[in-house]
Amino acid sequence: MPGLPGQAPGKAPRPPTPLDEALSGYLDHLAVERGLATNTLGAYRRDLRRYVDFLLHHHLDDPAQVSERDVTNFLAAIRTGEDGAAALSASSAARHVVAVRGFHRFLLLEGRTQIDPAGQVQPPSPPKRLPKAISLAAVESVLAAAGPPETPTGLRDRALLELLYGCGARISEAVGCAIDDLDLQAGLVRLRGKGDKERIVPIGSYAVAAVDAYLVRGRAALAVRGRGSPAVFLNARGGPLSRQSAWAVLAGAADRAGLAGRVSPHTLRHSFATHLLEGGADVRVVQELLGHASVTTTQLYTRVTADTLREVYVAAHPRALQA
């Protein structure tokens, strides 16, 4: 009989334990019923084999014997390498914990165990990384490379990029804007963020001018080819511009500006926030402008009035007013 997965070659094969058999059953479930890709299934197999080997080393050969403390001990061991393998980063350890939780949840649902010892074990949080941002000069070079201003699509591309940077919009928020969401006279735009939550934010005069130029000289030429879409940004056929096409617009401008591969829509969003903070904006105001409005976040930050948002924005954002 061949050795079990993870067993050192050359050693006499040991008989499978109930834990080994449970693992095999779960992997079969992932492959057959869940239809996981080969690479994904291989990752589950490696992560869970390390977990099972850890338990067997501690004389736990039946999943019914495993307690929550055993799972947390495994997490500690893979973070430090005390189980004899390489120590893992927080993100890699979190992946292992997710696999372990899925394994025990499967065994509980299948009636093979009476409790789920991993259900309350939380994966470690990876360290927060500072978002990537580019300089104001780099942003301006991308905006300047948006496209030929004499064409409808060139006007659209410049308006799109100015709006992304001018209010820190997510790409989905920008392409989701309808004509009725714009109040260019007041310098405001309504955005629909995650969870379909709406917020009204100011945009600077550069973005206002670019969007107005597109609406007057570009959008009408695109709209006649379509079926009357209310979307602000239209494609060459007159339909709503897709997220993928908006990405392509930015990628093309970044390439022409000599920044290929360095700029994404989120880069402009992070740069928007970074430049505001560098200009002296209060972090709570930036929070409101970005639309980070989850329950936990709104408990930590003070709500700010629309007038205060506009005042701080005009004072802090480098492209809020034309010189």
Catalytic residues: 170, 194, 266, 269, 292, 301
Q: How far apart are CA 141 and CA 259, in angstroms?
A: 9
| Three-class DSSP category at 198 | strand
Cα 34 from chain centre: 24
* Residue 270 neighbours by CB under 8 Å, 6+ apart: 131, 132, 133
Place of tokens 């060139």: 154
Q: List, in sequence order, the alpha helices (H) in 146-193.
A: 152-167, 171-175
Q: How far apart are CA 148 and CA 135, in angstroms?
A: 24
What is the 3-state secondary structure of 242-308?
CHHHHHHHHHHHHHHCCCCCCCCHHHHHHHHHHHHHHCCCCHHHHHHHHCCCCHHHHHHCCCCCHHH
Closest CA to 107 of 17, 23, 45: 23
Q: List the structure tokens of 287.
A: 């929070």
Q: List the structure tokens of 132.
A: 């990537």
